[in-house]
Amino acid sequence: MSGVSYDVIGDVHGYAVKLEALLRRLGYVEKASGWLPPQGRQAVFLGDLIDRGPEQAKVIHIVRSMVDAGHARCIMGNHEFNALGYATWRLDSSDETLRSHSPKNVAQHAEFLRQIGEGSLRHRELVEWFKTLPPLLDLGGIRAVHAWWHEPYVELVAARFSRDGQVMDDEFLHDAFERGSPAAH
C-alpha cells in the first residue's frame, strides 16, 4: 500500500486496556464499528495477542475487527502458533496433540483456555482464525515478522504456508511440530 504509514504493535498478550490506551495515543478513534486509524495509517500487529493477560477475548476482538475492516494487519506470533499445536491432534495418534499438554505448556496457555473455553465452539473458531494469520509480511518498505527473518526459511514458509497464501494447511502445521524438520527450524 503506497502512501501508508504503519504503526507496529507487538506482544499484546491479552492486555486490552493497555492496547486501547496505545491506540488512542497513536490517534486511533474507537467507534461502534471498531477502531479507526488516523488518515494514511494502518496498524501491524506482530502476533502474541494471547496468553497472560485478563482480556484475551477482547484483544482478539479488537485486532480481528481492525483486520477485517482493513485498518490493520496481523501476523502469527509463537503463542498463536503454540495454540494451534495445542489444539491439533497428531495424525498418527488419537490421544496426543502436536504440542504436548505438559505442565509447562498447560500453565502457559491456561488463561487463554479459561477465558475462551477449552474445546468450545469459540475456541475452535479462534484456532481456525489463527491459521489465517500469515507468519510474515513483506509490505515493501517494511518487513514484519514475530521473531526472525532468514531468507531460506522465509522462502520455505512462503512456499508451504498454503496453496493460496491465506491459510496454514494441516500438512505444514504437522511438519512444523516435527522435531528436526525444515519447517520446525
pLDDT of residue 20: 98
Please state, in angstroms and as integers, the Cα–Cα distance from residue 117 to each residue in 56, 151, 164, following that order.
Answer: 12, 38, 31
Give all strands of the β-sheet with 5-9 in edge-to-edge order: 5-9, 41-45, 72-74
Please, what is the average pLDDT of the chain? 91
pLDDT at residue 148 tops 90: no
> pLDDT exceeding 90 applies to what percent of the chain?
68
Residue 165 — very low, low, confident or very high, per pLDDT cuts 50/70/90? low
* Average pLDDT for 65-92: 94
pLDDT of residue 185: 80
Can you tell me whether residue 36 is helix, strand or coil? strand
Quote the pTM value: 0.91
34-49: pLDDT as tens digits: 999 999 999 999 999 9
> pLDDT exceeding 70 applies to what percent of the chain?
94
Ramachandran area for residue 31 (φ above 0: left; ψ -120 to 50: alpha; else beta):
beta
pLDDT of residue 166: 65
Please, what's the largest Cα pairwise distance for the chain? 51
pLDDT of residue 1: 45
pLDDT at residue 58 tops 50: yes
Q: What domains does the chain contain, in order, with CATH numbers?
A: 5-176 (3.60.21.10)
pLDDT of residue 159: 75
11-25: pLDDT as tens digits: 999 999 999 999 999
| Identity of residue 148 | W
